[in-house]
Structures are given as C-alpha cells and as structure tokens.
Copies of this chain bind each other. A is one copy, B any other.
Amino acid sequence: MAESAFERLRAELADVVDLRGAAFLLTWDQATMMPPGGAAARARQLALLKQLAHERFVAPSVGRLLDAAEAEVDAAGLGEHAFEADYLRVTRRDFERDRALPLDFTRRFHGHMATTYQAWTEARAADDAARVIPLLERTLDLSLELSEHLGAADHAADPLIGRSDHGFTVATLRPLFVRLREALVPLARRVQACDPPDDAFTRGPYPLDQQFAFALERVREFGYDTRRGRLDPTHHPFAIEFSVDDVRITTRGRVDDLREALTCTFHESGHGMYHQGIDPDLEATPLVDGTSAGVHESQSRTWENRVGRSHAYWTYAYQKLLRAFPEQLAGVSVDAFHRAMNVVRPGVIRTRADELTYDLHVIVRFELELDLLEGRLAVRDLPEAWHERYREVVGVAAEDDRDGVLQDVHWFSREIGGAFQGYTLGNVLAAQFWDAAQRELPDLEGDIARGAFGALAGWQRQRIHRHGRRLDPLDLIADVTGGPVDPQPYLTYLADKYGGLYPEAR
C-alpha cells in the first residue's frame, strides 16, 4: 500500500526538525564549550544549517504534501484533536508564516541584524548609543516590513507577538500591562520604602563550582533528568533541546552573590523540564516544543519563584545549603535566608531584578516597543525615553545608555516588537497555574516543605508539558485554569507575599 501523504509529510519534516536540533547543538556549544577561535566557522556552519532547515521546510513539495494530507484527514473525518489534526494545524500555520517571507527580505533582514549586533557590542562597550541609532531606525523599518509580510492585523505588533505567543494581541495585552502597572508600581514603591533585610551573608565568597554542584542537586530533585540533560555555566543562561531526550540547561553565578546561581539554575530547570516532559511520540515533529514563550516562561518562573524563593522550599532545602556552606552561613536562620532571597531593591538591570520589580522592567520595554511601532516615539529620542520611563515605572534610572537602551540584546539581534511580553505573561500564568495545581493537589505547599516535588512536577507534565504544541496557548490556558489569562491571581500572590515580608508596606 502506498504511504499516505501525511506519512510522507511527516518523514520530510522529521529531517527539518532534526536539522534544527543539530543547529541547536552548534548554538549550545558556542555558548558553553567553543574556544574563541571557533567563532568564524561556527557562524558559517550555523547559518548554513538554519538555511537548509528553512529551505526544506518551505519547499513547494511540502506545500503539496500539506494540501494532500489535509484532504486525507478531512476525508477520514478524524476528530478536531486527533494527532493528525493537531499536527496539520500547527504545521500549516508555521508553513504559511515562514513562506510569507521573501528570500530577498530575509537576506536583508539577517544581514542588517548581523551588522547591528556587531555595532551593539562595540557601542555598549563604549557607552555610545548614538552609534546604533541609525541602525535601530532601519531595524524599526524592517520590523514594520516584517509585520506586513506576516499578514494583516489590527496592530503592527500583533504578527510579531503572535510568532512567540500565538493568540495574543496588543488589544488583549495592553489592558493587562496597564493593570499590572497600576498595581505593581505603588506596591513596589511601598516595599522599597521599607528597611531592607540584612543580606550581607549572601556575599560569601562562595566558590562557583560548589554553587553549581549544589544547584544541580536541587534541580535533579525537582525532576530535571540529567540522564537526558546536563548543566553548564555560560554568560547568558538558557535552556536548549536537541530532542526530548537531550535537553540541556545553562547557568551563571557570582562568587559574591549566592542567589544568582540558585535562581538561574532553578529558572532554566523549569524550561528544561517542560521540554523533557513532552510526549515522546511528538519527537521529530513540529509539535515538539513548548506551546508559547509565555507558557514556557510560566514553567521557569514557577520553579525559580513560586518554589525556589518560597519559605516552604527553604524549610526543606536550607539545611542542605548550610551543610554546603557552613562557614559563610554560620548563624544565619532559615527566615533570614528566605528574606535575603526576596530582597527588593530598585535596580536598572532587568536580568538582575527581584521578583516584585521584574515586571516593571518588562512594562517599560513593552510600552516603548508599541510607541516605536505606532510612530509616537522616534528612534533618536529612544535613549532619553528609556531613562524617563525607568524613573516613572521602576523609580530609578541608569547613569548611562550602557545600562539603558543598550542593556538588552533583543532589539539589536531581532525585530522590535514581540520580544518581551512573554516574560510577564509567564509570571501571570505561573500564578494562575499554581492556583489550579493547588486546587487539584491535596497538599502542594506541604509537599514542597517536605522536598516532595513529584506531585507538582507530575501535575505540570500531565496538564502542560506532555501536550507540546498540540494545544494552542489559549486552549491550554483555558484547559488548565478554566478561563482566560487573568492577572488577578498574580497580583494577589505578590500583595500577600510582600505584605507578609514587609508588613509596613501593606
């Protein structure tokens, strides 16, 4: 019997997914193992693998197989959530999106981003924002062009947001961000006005190797499987996957701040467990990924914050920490350590922000992205607008552009628009998912205080991870929470938590 069009499509695209997996290994190696000399050839090899994956995915033959497979599945009358239907829905969406970009545009875009990235590294070192302004102007033009290629929408940012958070738009996100801003800015101000707890003991020194070994033991207890993954240090931590059975995480640390390696490793383990938890039957299909940036981030923030910065968790883990660092932590109580893990300090750097002020950094970026795309802010005014918005939202401003507009790599390596909303969506969803887990698990906090993480990890796997991309983000959120995205659980959690830690701030 002849193979079905669906099976032929699946075989074709297995190679595409494997090519992407191979490219991810090159990326991982570049960030963890590669000697400096390897950079030039690596850039070539990585570009080549990505180009091959792209070409094979948008090939006309794939389009024809998609058409035929859709007809087959229609004719077979499979249910809406049959595997084949999910496969074709997601693949069709990816195919149309990737195919919509003319080769000429893609070349111009990538060429420009390579130039811009290089200029950014130099501009940042020299604190010279003026140098990248003309490049950023072109990035904005190209971002608008990209948005147009991707298809008609109510807002230029919508197609860009949709690529990482399918189903979300400016119309749904803007009110969410406004609500967060209105609630979080005053709460953060009140907390910042309180006396900070003593956290001198976090400054060690703590040898990095010991920190990484301790953090790895902890995330293995969470459920991160090192038979199917590994942990390595890098500059900018990330999780990355070459298959469901090889999902690696990275971390960084500071000898003079014990918290960095802990929170980074916990965070990346959440991303890692998401990918390790995807149904192995989705391996080598376009469905083998997290369903969206926001849902992915919800998993990392859950382990970083809801578990890793909770009093319940340290009730369990602090004795282990004391055994690892008895001298540095001599005389420090678990309560004092928990307070140190939750110090709130207004800062100008997003990636080092505490849990409470983190979203303020995202709000600044999200608002600036929309202002730029809407033409209400000119790129030449962006450096100053950054500082102003920081004073207004975060309450502090950087002294230079290096920690201002030049802070994040995002706008200097990709389009403007769609880059940041996922971070805050992750926090909001983490709270909604936590509430759902609490409803469905008999004693979630108690389990965590006993170091029994299997209930939470198993619940995540069952309700979220195993689906991969079979459920679209909004469907998955509705399925798990019973409703739409809602910031209230998150705001309640933050008010309760910081009200408890800082009673004067209530």
> A interface vs B, CB < 8 Å?
14-15, 18-19, 21-22, 25-26, 29, 33-38, 40-42, 44-45, 48-49, 52, 225-230, 242-243, 245-246, 248, 283-284
Contact = CB atoms under 8 A, between A and B. Distances in A.
A43 B404 CA distance: 45
A341 to B, nearest CB: 30
Nearest to A246: B38
Contacts of A37: 225, 227-229, 243, 245-246
Q: Chain A interface mostly helix, strand, loop or mixed?
A: helix
B33 A18 contact: no
A282 to B, nearest CB: 13
B33 A26 contact: no
Contacts of A49: 22
Contacts of A227: 35-37
Nearest to A28: B29
Contacts of A42: 242-243, 246
A246 B41 contact: yes
Given A45-B18, A227-B35, A228-B35, A245 B40 contact: yes
Given A21-B45, A22-B22, A25-B25, 8 more contacts: A35-B228, A38-B242, A38-B245, A38-B246, A40-B245, A41-B243, A42-B243, A52-B52
Contacts of A25: 25-26, 29, 45
A245 B283 contact: no
A248 B33 CA distance: 10
B18 A41 contact: yes
21 contacts: A14-B44, A15-B48, A18-B44, A18-B48, A19-B48, A22-B49, A25-B26, A25-B29, A29-B29, A33-B33, A35-B228, A35-B230, A35-B245, A35-B246, A36-B227, A37-B225, A40-B243, A41-B242, A42-B243, A42-B246, A44-B284
Which 6 A-B pairs rank lowest in CB-CB distance, beginning with the nearest?
Answer: A41-B243, A38-B246, A37-B228, A37-B245, A22-B45, A18-B45
A229 B33 CA distance: 10
Contacts of A246: 34-35, 37-38, 41-42
Candidate in A26, A44, A248 with the most chain B CB atoms within 10 angstroms: A44
